[in-house]
Amino acid sequence: MLTVTRHGKSHIFSVMFVVASMFWLEKAAARDALEQVFNNPPKSARPLCFYAWMNGNITKEGITADFEAMDRIGVGGVLMFDLTVGILPGKVKVMSPEWREMMKHTAQEAARLNLEVAVHSGPGWSTAGGPWNTPENSMQMLVMSETGVKGPGHIEKQLPQPLTRLDYYRDIATLAFKTDAENLAGPTVSAQGMEINSNKLTDSDWKTFVELPLPSADKPQILDLAFAHPVEVKTLFIVTGLGRNNHWGEVQFSEDGKTFKTLRSFRIMEYGGNSAENLYPIKPTKARYFRVRFTKPSPKAKNITLAEIGFHPDARIDDLTAKAGYVLKVEAGEVKGGDASRDTTPSKLKTSDVIDLTGHVQDGKLNWDAPAGNWKVIRYGHTSTGSKNHPAPAEGMGPECDKLSKRALEKHWDGLLNKILDEAGSLAGKGLTGTFTDSWEVGYQNYTPAMIDEFRKRRGYDPLPYFPIFTGRVVDNPLVSERFLWDWRRTISDLFAENYFAYMDELSARRGMTFYCEAYGTNYDYMQCAGQSDMPTGEAWFGRPTAHLYTIKTAASTAHVYGKKYAGAEIFTVRNVPVECSNWLNHPYQLKSFGDLKMCEGINRFVIHRYAHQPWTNLAPGMTYGECGIHFERTNTWWEEGRAWIQYIQRAQYLLQEGQFAGDVLWFTGESTPNIPQLKSFMRPMLPDGYDFDYVNVDALLNRASSRDGQIVFPDGTAYNYLLMGDNPEMSLEVARKIRELVENGATVIGTRPTRTPGLANYPKADVELSKIADELWDKGPGKNGERKVGKGRVIWGKTFEQIFAADKCPPDFQFKGLPKVNYIHRRSGEADYYFVANENPQPGQAVCSFRVNGKRPEFWRPDTGVIEPCPIYKETNGVTEIPIYFEPAGSVFVVFRGQPETDPIVSASPAQDADCVLKSDQDGKVILFASKPCAVEATKASGAKVKAQIDSVPTPVEIGGPWQVSFEPHRGAPAQAIFDKLIPLNEHGDPGIKYFSGHAKYAHTFKASEEMLGKDKRVFLDLGDVQVIAEVMVNGKDLGILWKPPFRVDITDALKQGDNALEIRVVNLWVNRMIGDEQLPPDAVYVEKDPNMLKEWPQWLLKNKPRDTPERITFSTFKQWKKNDKLQPSGLIGPVKCMVVIKKTLE
């Protein structure tokens, strides 16, 4: 929990700008439409939330209460799941008549309340599966088996059926080729320090496993492999078992079995499956003894599970599993071919040597007259990957549909979504407004029944002669083999984008629905896939700020370059671990700065993680989402007060949804797949702070980008000054031609000269044409840096951004000084430029901020209050406007530039503004001093003229002491009322009912306002001091609003009267203390005895709807996350509470 302690004078400054804001409101005339909407944002600016039905525990009354609660506080709708996450099963089974009735009720209630409901693409959060999907329509992978035969002679032989999952397998082709390499006799394998069944590691049966303990830093796990005599080997192979097995290790050899030397290190790239050999080429080594040392375990792995291990006598392709699409490997955003992609050393195996024996095989039996020689016969087929949707209720779990096949997706739609929508009738598209796909967590897919035809159509050649490459063998030469694998991956990615993501969007649109998606996690082009949806969405984990960080900028960039209004984020995702603290410790202010950061990174629609459906109306906090999430539910103590935070988000999101993003650099992500945009730190040359960027992928670059007026522009008007291609030596002809077009029409392109095309299409002719285009755009010489003008544009290489910006006289778009960290984002709408700037720190203070805008008047638009006010001090110099801005703790503001600047603005003031003395402007251009202490200010205008103001005296702040009459929310274990002689944290009170209290406490007191406080040019503020966690204030019966973040301060002038004044402060705290208090009492539910403590069985009192076995208990939840001896949290109104006077005076 964040506790902000105020010291010194910093809080007075906040009083100043709130006072001035009120003055501005009083003086404001009619607002334009943008301003009016800013104060009353449309429903599209409302945040959404994840909404989970938990394992069949669903009720109509709970759904109605949930949706009404969301509507009350300003949540715009839900993205809806069916999940388990450790929750015991309920009565309502997926797709049962009762479940469908619940879905219909959901649609009816959503339509009644005008809420969005997007239905997930399948039970669980990943991804699109269910029992209606047959193995035939499931995700597919390429599999193969090898058989050695010798000719000449007639061969009749049953070929082994390759790896088969879900009892489904279909043949693709059978190919043969001559080989000089004999199979090595399997080595004898032993494990140091333990007995193993080594036969399982050399039996060629991938279904038999050996398990080894995980290695530690000082104790590797060692396997010794001994041959009967010295043999020459060139490749280590490992086949893993099931589970997480992406371990690190090294392979060694020895001539005597005692002294070992390391040949290479490796990492297994395998997550949960054993679909292909992991190959690790080594230098040719002849020895009898070899050793494999596992040195570092896979995160979250339980052990090392191995199916096969051994060596090949020939060199195989490194990282084959990643290059062939069996696993996801991230290396600077793409799978690298390395030196092999340039190596033209001829291989013994040629495509012309590959014989198609498919016609000689029936039901797996080979019938062939083999020519002379040793032959490898490879039977190729495809099977299910075995992936199933999860974490789904048992009755809703089944195979994941084939994502590369429209037909398979249609079958999945017919099995789930069409049935839901058909029963919804006219509510499809109204009550049920969309579909969505959450993050990809179901592994890889590298085949589909139409794969060969699709490859031929897209790449222009037959892939079958290159299929021996899938065994790791080099065909023709390393360059050709790497290019073929590049084409294979590109085809997979294109099919993902077109046949799953784009088709999901099309199927949704047919039913009048939108489609949202989180498109990352497997072997495709992330932006290409996300660009097919209506709202590209990223993932932002609170407490783990670097987790999935790239997905946020990817979602924002995709929205910008694909012309999508919304860039979404699954936000505030959290688990019950100390660094993340999901266990009812979260509250709006604690979350604010993280949310502000994500908005500065380009997100303009939050999907808050998460809301677990509450099936009960009499239990709290009730249902959980396992151990995960910030408990964003109507049963949380601060739910209703959270509407002030939600209103802040609405105002901010409204402005961030308007207009276009303004960035300097467009960073090309390359053409390889998987294509995963990398963090800014990977950018070369490095982009300095103060300049923003977007990613652009090959699809958007080719089909949406053009150049105009020296910029790279997109159809919706988003524009960039520079296109960064980076130092990738590969470039397709299509991209090269596009770059030439952009440059000739005025674009500036930064990047090194490409030297080759990727893929085999039109190779090697394509490389010749690429060289010609490169000659037009880059100098032919060996210069490391340079610049060349071509048409209206130019190409730059080998220079830093600092050098480029200096030459172009392009200062940073945003800079700051005076605070540790201020984040920003810049957008444009019509003639207005506006920046959202946010203090990332819990400390308040002033930052001097500069903006690359001039010739416009700056204003402060405050999303927490809706107030709009002119900036009182600003200075234009060399195209930059400099503005001093005071930030509250984790404070934020929009700085909007629009209209003509003042003819003679104030550019400086002396002394500088501080916590007790601040300047503000009214709409008439008058600058006003607001002071909470005696002070004098002299300001200088742009013309050099001087203006002054002096305040000689200010009343001293008055502390409001006790006694306080404190009333407690009923049925929460506390007495109805208590008298506090002075304010103390509730958790320090002697009465256990108060000590462990959670809920709303109302503090009442009557205080006097002196004549000295009131009068012209005075405003009176109530400062509550320390509040845990949210307060509402009433003075003399007038509601003065919700205070959800420090400083907890409100203007009470208009409610105040001379003499006695009735003060009520309603404070809500967190659930934590009551949950700890309940642990002092006998249990009436049984939980699993481990962390986190999930409910072991439903209590009988709950099932039978009877009184609790321990009626003194206040709370009930499906996960127990607090214990009796845990530390209580600071709670309630802690104070001190003060009245303070601020005096205003116009500078003249």
The three-state secondary structure class of 104 is: helix
- What is the distance between the alpha carbons of residues 844 and 252, in angstroms, rounded to a whole number? 58
Residues 122, 260 within the same domain? no
Question: Long-range pairs for 407-410 at CB < 8 Å and ≥24 separation?
Answer: 407/137, 408/133, 408/137, 408/138, 408/448, 409/128, 409/499, 409/500, 409/503, 409/504, 409/507, 410/507
Which of 758, 790, 807 is where one domain is finished? 807
The answer to whether residues 39 and 652 touch, using CB atoms and an 8 Å cutoff, is: no
The three-state secondary structure class of 351 is: helix
Residues 1019, 898 within the same domain? no
Contacts of 40 (CB under 8 A, 6+ apart): none
Residues 159, 198 within the same domain? no
Element (H, E) at 559: helix 549-561
The answer to whether residues 952 and 963 touch, using CB atoms and an 8 Å cutoff, is: no
Q: Would you call 840 exposed, middle or buried from its count of C-beta atoms within 10 A (0-12, 13-18, 19+)? A: middle
The answer to whether residues 526 and 675 touch, using CB atoms and an 8 Å cutoff, is: yes
- What is the distance between the alpha carbons of residues 564 and 577, in angstroms, rounded to a whole number? 36
- What is the distance between the alpha carbons of residues 913 and 884, in angstroms, rounded to a whole number? 9
φ, ψ of residue 437 in degrees (nearest 5) = -125, 125
Residues 752, 819 within the same domain? no
Q: Torsion over CA of 1022, 1023, 1026 and 1029, rounded to 10 degrees?
A: 50
For 99, 283, 955, 971, 1143, the CA distances from 1010, given in Å and listed in that order, are 64, 90, 10, 39, 15
Predicted local confidence at residue 909, as pLDDT = 87
Q: What angle do CA 365, 367, 371 make, to 5 degrees?
A: 135
Residues 897, 964 within the same domain? no
Residues 572, 631 within the same domain? yes
Contacts of 981 (CB under 8 A, 6+ apart): 962, 963
Predicted local confidence at residue 36, as pLDDT = 85
Question: What count of other Cβ atoms lies within 10 Å of the Cβ of residue 759?
Answer: 24
Rounded to two decimals, what is the model's pTM?
0.95
State how many domains the chain has.
6
Which of 618, 633, 658 is where one domain is finished? 658
Q: At what angle do helices 417-424 and 97-113 cross, to 10 degrees?
A: 60
For 159, 186, 253, 325, 1077, the CA distances from 231, given in Å and listed in that order, are 28, 11, 11, 32, 70
Pair of tokens at residue 612: 């677990």
The three-state secondary structure class of 106 is: helix
Element (H, E) at 67: helix 60-73
Residue 293 falls within a domain, yes or no?
A: yes
Is the sign of the CA dihedral 1130, 1136, 1141, 1147 positive or negative?
A: negative
The answer to whether residues 70 and 49 touch, using CB atoms and an 8 Å cutoff, is: yes
Predicted local confidence at residue 30, as pLDDT = 35
Residue 379 falls within a domain, yes or no?
A: yes
Residues 630, 531 within the same domain? yes
Q: What angle do CA 156, 161, 167 make, to 5 degrees?
A: 145
Question: What count of other Cβ atoms lies within 10 Å of the Cβ of residue 621?
Answer: 23
Residue 462 falls within a domain, yes or no?
A: no
Residue 475 falls within a domain, yes or no?
A: no
The answer to whether residues 499 and 406 touch, using CB atoms and an 8 Å cutoff, is: yes
Predicted local confidence at residue 7, as pLDDT = 31
Residues 82, 175 within the same domain? no
Pair of tokens at residue 364: 């797996």
Predicted local confidence at residue 32, as pLDDT = 73
Amino acid at 591: L
Residue 323 CA from chain centroid, whole number: 26
The answer to whether residues 387 and 443 touch, using CB atoms and an 8 Å cutoff, is: yes
Which of 743, 772, 807 is where one domain is finished? 807
Q: Torsion over CA of 346, 348, 351 and 357, rounded to 10 degrees?
A: -170
Contacts of 1148 (CB under 8 A, 6+ apart): 947, 948, 949
Pair of tokens at residue 563: 């012309």
Contacts of 869 (CB under 8 A, 6+ apart): 20, 21, 24, 859, 860, 862, 920, 921
Q: What is the CATH number of the domain that holds 293?
A: 2.60.120.260
Rg (CA), the chain: 34
The three-state secondary structure class of 595 is: helix
Pair of tokens at residue 722: 């520079």
Residue 337 falls within a domain, yes or no?
A: no
The answer to whether residues 1009 and 1056 touch, using CB atoms and an 8 Å cutoff, is: yes
Pair of tokens at residue 996: 């462990």
Predicted local confidence at residue 10, as pLDDT = 38
The domain containing residue 500 runs over which residues? 43-134+388-445+495-658
The three-state secondary structure class of 334 is: coil
Predicted local confidence at residue 271, as pLDDT = 58
Q: What is the CATH number of the domain that holds 52?
A: 3.20.20.80
Tell me whether strands 665-668 and 722-726 are parallel, antiparallel or unpaired. parallel
Residue 464 falls within a domain, yes or no?
A: no
**DSSP secondary structure code for residue 345 in this structure:** P
Predicted local confidence at residue 105, as pLDDT = 98
The answer to whether residues 514 and 565 touch, using CB atoms and an 8 Å cutoff, is: no
Residues 1010, 1126 within the same domain? yes
Amino acid at 839: N
Residues 821, 797 within the same domain? no
Pair of tokens at residue 446: 């590298």
Predicted local confidence at residue 25, as pLDDT = 47
Residues 1130, 1006 within the same domain? yes
Question: Which residues of the chain carry a pLDDT beneath 50?
Answer: 1-20, 22-31, 331-334
**DSSP secondary structure code for residue 841 in this structure:** S
Residue 339 falls within a domain, yes or no?
A: no
Predicted local confidence at residue 932, as pLDDT = 84
Residues 726, 802 within the same domain? yes
- What is the distance between the alpha carbons of residues 152 and 375, in angstroms, rounded to a whole number? 10
Q: At what angle do helices 97-113 and 60-73 cross, to 10 degrees?
A: 20
Which of 657, 428, 647, 587 is CA-nearest to residue 1068?
Answer: 587
